[in-house]
Structure 1
Amino acid sequence: MVYVVSNIYVITTIAVIGGALFGFDIASMSAILGTQQYKCFFNQGGLDEDGQCAGPTSSTQGGISASMPGGSFVGALASGIITDMFGRRKAIQLGAIIWCVGSIITCASFSIGQLVVGRFINGVAVGICSAQVPVYVAELAQPSKRGTVVGAQQWAITWGILIMFYISYGSSFLDGNAAWRLPWGLQMIPAVLLFFALFFLPESPRWLAKKDRWEECHETLALVHAKGNHSDPFVQTELREIREMCEFERDNKDASYLDLFKPNMINRTHIGMFTQIWSQLTGMNVMMLYITYVFGMAGLSGNANLVASSIQYVINVVMTIFALLFIDRWGRRTPLLVGSTLMMTFMFANAGIMKTYGKPAPPGGVDHVAEESWDMSDAQSAAKGVIACTYLFVASYAPTWGPVSWIYPPELFPLRLRGKAVAVTTSSNWIFNFALSYFVPPAFENIKWQVYILFGVFCATMTIHVFFFFPETAGKTLEDVDSMFHSDVKAWKTKVQFQDIRRAELGGVVFDKTADEEKPAAVAVERPVGAV
C-alpha cells in the first residue's frame, strides 16, 4: 500500500511548489535581462557608445517577457477542463511535466524565437498550476485553515523569486552563455520533485465525490481531518454536506464556462476576475520583473542594482508570513482595502519624487538597461526615497493583495463550477500580466515617471471597487457564501466568522449567531461545515 500524506500543511508545502514556478520565472528574467552575457547573445542593437552590447530592443524584450504570461493565459483556461476530467492532482502533475519541457527549450535557446517558444510553454505550465493548486488545497483544508493554506501559494511564489534571483545573480559571474543557461536549467529541479511527490498526496475529496468515488472521498476526509477516524463528527458532517451538494448538482446539467456568466453567477465571476485583474494592476509583478529599470533610474548600476533589487524579494518573503498567520482572522476585505490604499500612496510618492528631482537620461540610458529612460543619479537623497517607497510598496502588497488574490476566488463558487471558475479568474490574471509585461519596457522609456501615476490611479480605483462590491468570505461555509450572494446584504456589511467556524470544526456543529452578538445562541444547530 502506498503511503499517503495526511497533514494539511505538508500537503500544502508540496502542492505550492507549483506556485513557486511562477516565482522562478519572475526572478530569473529580472536578474538575467541586465547581464552582458544575455544581452550579447540576444543582441539586436549592436554596441552602445561604451562598446557594450545593447541587447534586445525594448519592444522585443517586452515580447520575451510577455510570452510567459501569454502561455499562462492558455494554460489557466485549459486547466478547468483538465482538472474536471483527470483530477486536481493529475492536473498539477501535468503542469510539472510541461514546465520541464519549456525549461529545456529555454535553457537550450539559440535564438529569440526559440526563447519565446520555451517561455510560452513554461507559461502554460504556470497557468495550470497557478489555477489548480489553490483549488486543490482549498478543497482539502478545513475552513478556518483555508486562508493560510491557499495563501501559501503566494508565499511559495515569493520564495521562488528569492531563491532563483540569487541563483541567477550568482550565475551572472560565470563567463559566456552559462550565465543564463544555468538558472533556466536548474529551475526544472523543483518541478521534478513536485511531480513525484504528488504521488504521495491524496486527491481532492470533492473531486472524488463528483466522480462517485465515495469510499475514497470518505477515506481522504478521515485521513486529513481526523487521523483516519471515519466516525469523527466533523468528517461525518462534511461528508453529508458534500453528498447533498453532489445530489443537488446532479439534478442540474453539467457545468460549462457559460454558466459563469449567467445572471445567478455573473456577480461572483466579476468579483473573482477583478480580484486577479486588480492584483496585476497594482503594478507589483511589473515592479518585480523590471526592478532593474526602476533602480537604474534611481542611479544604481551593476551589482549594486542587483543587490538592491534582491532586498525587495526578501521583504516580499518576510511580509507574506503575516498573511499566513493572520489572514483567516483579518478576513479578505480588510487586507484588500488597506493594501490598495498604501500602495496608492507609495506609487504617487514615487511619481512626485521622480518628477521633481529626475531628468531625462543621456543617450544610452541608465546602466545600459533602458534607453532614453529617467535619470536620478544626480539626486542621491531623492533616489533613496524612490528605493524606500518601492520597498514599502512591496511590504504593502505582500500580506494583502498577494495572498488574498489566490485565496478569494476559490471561495466564491460552488463545487460544480469551481475548477472552471478559478481557471477563468486566473486567466484574467495572466492576460493582464501579458499586457503589462509587454507595455512596461517602452512605457519606462516613453512616459517615464508617469508610469507610477498610472498604477497609483489603478490602486485608488480598486479601493473603491472592493469597498462597494467585494463581500467577506472568511470563515464561512458554502451555505453562508451562497446565501450571502442571494441576499440583499451589502458587501461592506459582511463580516468575518472565524470564531464560529473554529467551534464547528472542534465540535462538529455551528452556532447560530448574528453579526452583532458577542455570544453564541443557547441552542446549537447541526449543519454542514466542511464546504469551501
Structure 2
Amino acid sequence: MAGGAQISGHYKQLIDPNFRWWKHPRMWKLMFWTCLYILGNCANGYDGALVSGMQILPYWLKDFNNPTGSTLGLLGAIQNIGSLGSIPVAPLWNDRFGRRKTVMLGTTMMITGAALQAAAKDVNMFLGGRVMLGFGGGFNNNADPLMVIELCFPSHRHAIAGSYNSFTGIGSIIAAALTFGTYYMASSWSWRLPALIQVLPSTIQFCLIMFGPESPRWLMLSGQEQRCWDTLVYYHGRGDPHDPLVLYEFEEMKESVRKEKEAKRTQWKSLFASKGMRRRSFIMMGLAVSGQWSGNSLVTYYLAQVLKTINITDRPSQLGLNLALTAFNFICGFTAGFHSDRFGRRRILLTATSLMLLFFVCVTICSAEYNISHSNVAGDFVLLFIFLFTGAYAMGWSSVMLLYVTEIVPMSMRSKAHSLWAFSQASSQVLNQYTNPIALANMGWKYYIVFDCLMVIILLFLYFFVVETKGLTLEETAMLFDGEQEVADLQKDADEHAAADRMAVEHVPHTGGDSPDPEKGSIHYREDVNA
C-alpha cells in the first residue's frame, strides 16, 4: 500500500534538485530547534540506563536495603506508573496550549522529580521523585515527538523522526558511562551524582524552548493560519514566499484540517468512531504492546539479573557490558531510522523482528546449555546473541515505531492518539517491569521461552496489519488509512490551491522577508516567527 507510484513521492518534485540544506542558515536554525526536542528523548534513554546501572552500584543497593523481587520491580516500574497518570491530561494541554508550553510544563516537573530522586534518603522519597519524573515525562513525551515530526523539512522527516527514538541511545550511553565511572566512588554519591545529572537535558529545554518556533501544524489546527504560513516561509522556504513546496505544504495542511473538521475528529471517542480510525488505533496499541513484550525490556532494565544467569557477577564487567550494549544499540537504531524512507517502515519492522526471534531463540538455547553443563563457551554465546538481539530491536522498534505511530494519525487527533499509544506502552511496561524480576528469580532461563512464543505472534501481527507509509508527506500519510483515493484527492486539491496562491503572489518581488496572508493574494511583512 502507500508506496505506489501514483501517490508516493509527490511532494519531492516541488523541491529544487540542486537544493542543499547545509548551504542555508535558516535550515541550520531549523535543525537546532529540532535537536532541542530530540534532547527530551535523550533524557528518556538516560533514565532507562540509569535504572539498570544503579542496580549494579553497591551504595545504591546498600542505601535501599538490597531490593529484590517485587520491590525491585516497583523501583523499575514506578516511573511508568507516574507517566500513566499524565496520559489523560497531557494531550488536552498539548492541543489547547501548543507543543512548546507542553514541553515547558513537562520539564518543570521532570527537574523537580530528578532533584527529589537525587536527594532521596529512603525508598519512599526515591519512589516519589521517580513518580514526578514519570508524570512530567508524560507531557514531554506527548509533545517532543509531535514537534519533531511536524516541524521537520518534508524530505528530512523520515530520517530525523525515524531516528528520533534511537537518540535514547545517547542518553543511555552517558548514563552507562557515568555509572561505570562512579562505581569506584566510595559513597552514596556513586548513585546520587548520575541521578542529579538527569536534570541537565530538561533544564536546557526549559531555558531555550520558548525562543523557538511553534509547530506549524498546531498553528494551522488552532486557527493561526498567518503564523503557520510565516513559520513555513521562514524555515522551509528560507524566506521565499514564492517557494512551491511551502505553498503546497500550506494548502495541504489547510485542506487536511478542513476535512478533519468536517469529519468532527476532535474527541477521544473519535479514535474509534470510523473504520479508518479503529484500524489506526488497533495498530498503535498493537505496536505499543509488542514493543514492550518482545524481550528487550528484560535485557534493558534487568541486565544484571540476566548476566547472573550465566554467572557474570563481577560488577565492573556488568557495567562495561551495559555501556557497550547501549553504544551498539544506538548505532543500529540510528542507521535504520535514518534510512526508513529508503527501505520502508514495514520492511524494517518485519526484518528486525525476524532477527530478534532468531537471536532470542539462540539466547534461550545457549542459556539452557550453560545452566545444564556450565560451559563457558555457552555463556559467551549468550552474550553474543544478547548483543545481536538488542541491535535488531534497535533497528526496528527503537527507530521507526515512533515515527510510524505519529505519522498515521490525522492532525486533529495526533496528540490524543499518541497518548493512547503511550498508555498502551506504559501499562504494558509496568506489568513487564514488575513481573520480570519475579519470573527471572523463579524460572531463570526458562522465562525466555515466553518471549520466544510472543515474538512469533508479533511477527504475524506485523505481517497482516502494518502497511507501508514511505514517500508521503505527514498529511498524506495520515489520510492513507481512509483510502489511497483520499490521498490522491488531497494531493490534487493542494496542487490546485497552491497554483492559485502562486499566481496571486507572482507580482510581488522577493525580498526574503515578505509573507503572504493565508487569504490568497494578500501580502504583508513579518520576520519574527518565534513570537
Same fold at TM > 0.5: yes
CA distance in 1, matches of 2:192, 2:26: 36
Aligned to 2:482: 486
Q: CA deviation at 1:479?
A: 6.1
Matched, 1:276 2:288: yes
The alpha-carbon distance between structure 1 residues 143 and 452, as it changes in their structure 2 partners (threshold 3 A), is farther
Q: CA deviation at 1:246?
A: 2.5
Aligned to 1:518: none
Deviates more, 1:339-348 or 1:300-309: 300-309
The alpha-carbon distance between structure 1 residues 105 and 334, as it changes in their structure 2 partners (threshold 3 A), is same
**1:198-217 → structure 2 map (5 Å cutoff):** 198-217=209-228
Amino acid at match of 1:333: R
Matched, 1:231 2:253: no
Cα pair 2:26 2:238 within 8 Å, conserved = no
SS in 2 for 1:175: coil
Amino acid at match of 1:148: A
Amino acid at match of 1:407: L
Q: CA deviation at 1:252?
A: 4.8
Cα pair 1:9 1:149 within 8 Å, conserved = no
Q: CA deviation at 1:235?
A: 0.7
Q: CA deviation at 1:4?
A: 8.6
Amino acid at match of 1:323: A
SS in 1 for 2:395: coil
CA distance in 1, matches of 2:475, 2:204: 37
Aligned to 2:422: 426
The alpha-carbon distance between structure 1 residues 180 and 174, as it changes in their structure 2 partners (threshold 3 A), is same
One of 84, 99, 106 as aligned partner of 1:88? 99
CA distance in 2, matches of 1:418, 1:252: 15
Q: CA deviation at 1:392?
A: 0.3
Aligned to 1:403: 399
Cα pair 2:57 2:179 within 8 Å, conserved = no
CA distance in 2, matches of 1:275, 1:17: 24
Matched, 1:29 2:25: no
CA distance in 2, matches of 1:20, 1:419: 21
Amino acid at match of 1:18: G
Aligned to 1:380: 376
Matched, 1:106 2:102: no
SS in 2 for 1:227: coil
Q: For residues 54-97 of structure 1, what are the alpha-carbon distances to aligned partners after superposition, in whole Å with 9 as ceiling and x for unaligned?
A: x0132101001100111122234432111101101211222111
Cα pair 1:96 1:191 within 8 Å, conserved = yes
Q: CA deviation at 1:460?
A: 1.4
Q: CA deviation at 1:254?
A: 6.0
One of 275, 288, 296 as aligned partner of 2:308? 296
Q: CA deviation at 1:442?
A: 0.8
Q: For residues 178-211 of structure 1, what are the alpha-carbon distances to aligned partners after superposition, in whole Å with 9 as ceiling and x for unaligned?
A: 1111111111011101112212321001111122
Matched, 1:476 2:472: yes
CA distance in 2, matches of 1:143, 1:63: 42
Aligned to 1:321: 334
Q: CA deviation at 1:256?
A: 1.2
**1:491-530 → structure 2 map (5 Å cutoff):** none
CA distance in 1, matches of 2:460, 2:145: 26
Matched, 1:343 2:365: no
Cα pair 2:407 2:478 within 8 Å, conserved = no
Aligned to 1:368: none
The alpha-carbon distance between structure 1 residues 113 and 194, as it changes in their structure 2 partners (threshold 3 A), is same
Aligned to 1:515: none
CA distance in 2, matches of 1:226, 1:420: 30
**1:151-170 → structure 2 map (5 Å cutoff):** 151-170=162-181
CA distance in 2, matches of 1:252, 1:325: 34
CA distance in 2, matches of 1:318, 1:254: 39
CA distance in 2, matches of 1:16, 1:488: 32
Q: CA deviation at 1:318?
A: 1.4
Amino acid at match of 1:24: Y
CA distance in 2, matches of 1:216, 1:479: 19
Matched, 1:416 2:412: yes
The alpha-carbon distance between structure 1 residues 385 and 421, as it changes in their structure 2 partners (threshold 3 A), is same
SS in 2 for 1:410: helix
Aligned to 2:13: none
Cα pair 1:5 1:11 within 8 Å, conserved = no
Aligned to 2:319: 306
One of 6, 11, 20 as aligned partner of 2:33? 11
The alpha-carbon distance between structure 1 residues 482 and 165, as it changes in their structure 2 partners (threshold 3 A), is closer
Q: CA deviation at 1:5?
A: 7.8
Cα pair 1:323 1:400 within 8 Å, conserved = yes
Aligned to 1:465: 461
Matched, 1:246 2:257: yes
- Greater share of residues in helix: 2
Gaps of 5+ in 1: 44-54, 360-375, 490-496, 510-532
CA distance in 1, matches of 2:61, 2:226: 57
CA distance in 1, matches of 2:120, 2:238: 49
Amino acid at match of 2:71: T
SS in 1 for 2:398: helix
Deviates more, 1:452-461 or 1:265-274: 452-461
Aligned to 2:196: 185
How many pairs does the alignment contain? Answer: 465
Amino acid at match of 1:22: N
TM-score calculated relative to the size of structure 2: 0.83
**1:343-362 → structure 2 map (5 Å cutoff):** 343-358=356-371
Gaps of 5+ in 2: 1-24, 500-531
Q: CA deviation at 1:296?
A: 2.1
CA distance in 1, matches of 2:115, 2:474: 42
TM-score calculated relative to the size of structure 1: 0.83
